[in-house]
Amino acid sequence: MAGAVLLVVVCFVVLYRCRVKVFATFNLHPFDVDECSNEEMAFDAFVSCAWSDDELARSIVGRLEGGDEAEGGYRMCYHSRDFPLGAVILRSIQQSIESSKRVVCLLSGAFLQRCVACDVM
pLDDT in tens, 52-109: 888 999 998 988 888 555 566 888 999 888 888 888 888 988 999 999 988 988 888 8
Confidence of residue 32 (pLDDT cuts 50, 70, 90): low
Contacts of 94 (CB under 8 A, 6+ apart): none
pLDDT value, residue 76: 92
Q: Which helix (H) or strand (E) holds 48?
A: strand 43-48
pTM of the model: 0.61
The phi-psi region of residue 119 (left if phi > 0; otherwise alpha if psi is between -120 and 50; otherwise beta) is: left
- When pLDDT is averaged across residues 14-21 and rounded to a whole number, the result is 77
